[in-house]
A and B are shown apart, each in its own frame.
Chain A
Amino acid sequence: MTTAVETLRDTPFSIGGRTFQSRLMVGTGKYRDNETMVRAIEASGAEIVTVAVRRVDLDRTKEAGILHHLDPRKYFLLANTAGCYTAQDAVRYARLAREAGFNEFVKLEVIGDQETLLPDVQGLLDAARTLVREGFKVLAYTNEDLVTALRLEEAGCAAVMPLASPIGSGLGLLNPYGVRTIKRRLKVPVVVDAGVGTASDACVTMEQGVDGILMNTALAAARDPVAMALAMRLAVEAGRSAYLAGRMPRREVAVPSSPLEGMLD
């Protein structure tokens, strides 16, 4: 007897006209050293790698910057506007990032609360509209609110990035329904950004059908970031495959897996 194994056919993962193989995107912050960061990024298989824009330290100008460790021909560098609390600041950072960088993509963050780092959705929408007008491909970090996500799509964002849980919290996917609903309703890619803590979180997140995940602290703060990066790569692939495969229905009662017939008297 022969068994035909049909490979799951996935659609390409495209954002703003660029197509990527990996659905896992990773940050570059908080690693204990650059060597660990580089090895973790390699193990993750990620192609999109985020960076932040900050002042040069004038007393340490001889130190090699992050670009020394990340080959822009190998990785797609996605600048963020992390740390910005107003639309005006976020736009300023995005313009600087475009000048420093290699593309017109920006991960837009406008933060509204210091403790939770939850987004200021009004500022986010204002900044998104300005940046889209200026030709940016905006990937908007937002909460898991459907209406905000719809407005961001209307504003012309290239992708919408609802959180799994607050940035750096590692609490995992707190609102699967919210994220699933955003994915169901939007036409642009939905990439979950922030909150994933371990591989099972990544897997469950991908099982909601979202297009990808962006994570940073889950790798950087793991005891072994390189091993966790590999775990996350596998978890994202597993979650995606499970989503495409379509899970069995949930039941409140047991259904035997073995035949009821043929039992001994």
Chain B
Amino acid sequence: MKEIKKDIKKFISNVMDREYKKASNDLSSVINKKIEQKILNNNINIF
């Protein structure tokens, strides 16, 4: 959860600095982590 918040913080600061490419990467990372969390929370077996 902390990792996700860190990534969101990075995303916001990159948007403020108009570094949109970096912001896009940060947002992708956040979404990936959110989906991982979703998989874990819903006990989806990936193996």
Same complex for A and B? Answer no
